Structure 1
Amino acid sequence: MRELVVLGTASQVPTRTRNHNGYLLRWDGEGLLLDPGEGTQRQMTHAGVAASQITRICLTHVHGDHCFGLPGVLARMALDGVEHPVELHYPASGEEVVRALVAVAHAALDLRLRPHGEGGPVAPGLEVAPLAHRVETYGYRLVEPDGRTLLPERLAAAGITGPAVGRLVREGRLGAVRLEDVSVPRPGQRFAFVMDTAECDGAAALADGADLLVAESTFADADADLADAYRHLTAGQAGALARAAGAGTLVLTHFSSRYPDVAPLAAQAAAQAGAARVVAAADLDRVAFPPRRRT
């Protein structure tokens, strides 16, 4: 199962309808908790997200609206008896803050700290790239390797059935039959998480070819001067990022409290997003991955 569970969509100041940041990415057997802001544990309850589903936690940076929910989440995981290892990824410059937050939780967990100080892979299929914010910030990108989809009619014509199918997949060839003779390419899916940044090369690299792109949309286009001053994206810039990347679905979030209605921001993003589908996220939304792309 692959889906994004939106736990919170506010930026620095939460509102009556928007909690601080928080996102759970369900990715097959993994659960990636991204930027758990204050109140994330309660939002998990509202969303029906169990603490045991979390296998990895990713912080883009250590501003409070992106990490102050960490102690509560860790404490809840300990209370619920989570036994599997949990990896915590974060910028190395935030080491002191992260260790303080972890210490507050007093959590008896197999928590493994994974600081990073540059772009690149941080776990199998998971990579980071630096963003342009007021403190050291990294976005995240999860990539499924390309594969192949077997075609039953071609397998049948080749007389390959049962365990022989698995052997063909493992070895790439069975007698005169090659794997490519009975299958078609299956592009791997890609997820990108771009938070708290001005326009930059790192954001573009993360978003490239993303099936699902989560991007901050803190300010409306009319407030581009504020976006520039505080190193954030406008709605239109988020849309342009999705268009340039060829993204499938763009999920807008991290809205300033100055906008009680974010429909105009969604319209501004859509005007720049090209073929990308644009979703203005609300708390507790569930966003499914788009259908797998064809080559």
Structure 2
Amino acid sequence: MLRVTFLGTGGSLPTPERNPSAVMVNREGELMLFDCGEGTQQQMMRAKTGMKALSSIFISHFHADHMLGIPGLIQTMSFHGRTEPLKIYGPHWVHEFARILSALGYYKLRFEIDAIDLSPGDVIKRDDYSIMVLKTEHSIPSLGYALVENERSGKFNRQKAIELGVPPGPLFSKLHRGESVEVNGKVIHSKDVVGAGRPGRKIVYTGDTRPCKAILEASKDADLLIHDSTLANDQQDWAIESMHSTAKEAAVLAKEANVLKLVLTHISSRYSDDPSQLLKEAKEVFDKVIVADDLMELDIPYRDRT
């Protein structure tokens, strides 16, 4: 499973239609939260994402609409009996932020907060995927993130293995893992029955940013690009001044990066109840685009090849 739930899709201000920024990724039961605007914990309840399996929070930057939901969320998890440490990743100042969280209010947390200071170019390696840390361009120090799965093994040709004399059973597994096996004095190599490696999946989350080189490069052939698209094209001067992106600019980048799907988010309150202008302008450039809505879910399937 690789499921993305959009818990908050609004810009700086919450509206009746949109909460501030928060995107949940569920990868094989592990929950990762990218930004956590105010009200995120209630959105998690509405979306039924769960909280217990939340391993990490990745903060793109320390504007309030991207992190004000964290104090309430950690207090709720502590109240529900969480004891496992929670990792909070972010730009410079994340350690001070975690210290403030731990001291906030009279309620003592039952678990530790492990703050990890990140810089562009850092890589967080997990067992079979990595989180790449990207340089973005906003009005304060900011980061984007790319979740990149490791390459998968190729398809196993069962019929060919049998024709080569390999009996069904444990030897099949060895061959699929890349090992060679011996049958009746004959060595069968993995490459004889296993096809070329297949790509893992890639999700890119920009946070707030102008279109930039690091996001473009990280998004090459991505399965999903979640891009800041705060404003329409007639507000481009304001987008440049406030260091955000227009929907059209996000679409131009998505097209150049050859992504499979673009999702527009961080929608300004002026378009909160009717983002059709943003969608129209993006589709003029790149057709595989949608505007995120609060509580929208996307399942990201595997691809056989790029």
**TM-score normalised to structure 1 length:** 0.93
In the TM superposition, structure 1's runs of 4+ consecutive aligned residues that sit over 4 Å from their partners are: none
Give the match's secondary structure for 1:203.
helix
Query: Cα RMSD over matched residues?
Result: 1.8
**Correspondence for 1:245:** 257
CA separation in 1, counterparts of 2:63 and 2:227? 17
Distance 1:217 1:98, change over 3 A: farther
Per-residue deviation, 1:98: 4.2
CA separation in 1, counterparts of 2:237 and 2:56? 36
1:56-67 matches, within 5 Å, as 56-67=56-67
**Correspondence for 1:120:** 122
Per-residue deviation, 1:216: 1.2
CA separation in 1, counterparts of 2:174 and 2:11? 51
Distance 1:173 1:38, change over 3 A: same
Per-residue deviation, 1:29: 3.5
**Correspondence for 2:281:** 268
What is the number of residues matched between the two proteins?
A: 293
Tell me the alpha carbon deviations over residues 102-133 of structure 1, each in whole angstroms, 9 at most, x when there is no partner. Answer: 43274222322111133220333111011000
Per-residue deviation, 1:151: 2.9
CA separation in 2, counterparts of 1:219 and 1:99? 35
Q: Does structure 1 conserve the Cα–Cα contact (< 8 Å) formed by 2:2 and 2:301?
A: no
Q: Does structure 2 conserve the Cα–Cα contact (< 8 Å) formed by 1:70 and 1:102?
A: no
Higher relative helix content: 1
Amino acid at match of 1:289: I
Percent identity, aligned pairs only, is 31
Structure 1: give runs of 5+ residues left out of the alignment.
none
1:139 lines up with 2:144 in the alignment: yes
Amino acid at match of 1:284: L
Which shifted more, 196-205 or 77-86?
77-86
**Correspondence for 1:156:** 162
**Correspondence for 1:6:** 6
**TM-score normalised to structure 2 length:** 0.90
Q: Does structure 2 conserve the Cα–Cα contact (< 8 Å) formed by 1:60 and 1:137?
A: yes
1:99-118 matches, within 5 Å, as 99-104=99-104, 106-118=108-120
CA separation in 1, counterparts of 2:177 and 2:152? 12
1:207-286 matches, within 5 Å, as 207-259=219-271, 260-273=273-286, 277-286=288-297
Give the match's secondary structure for 2:104.
helix
Q: Does structure 1 conserve the Cα–Cα contact (< 8 Å) formed by 2:98 and 2:113?
A: no
Structure 2: give runs of 5+ residues left out of the alignment.
none
Say which one has the larger Rg: 2
Tell me the alpha carbon deviations over residues 2-56 of structure 1, each in whole angstroms, 9 at most, x when there is no partner. Answer: 1101111111011111111111101124211110100001111110121112111
Q: Does structure 2 conserve the Cα–Cα contact (< 8 Å) formed by 1:194 and 1:206?
A: no
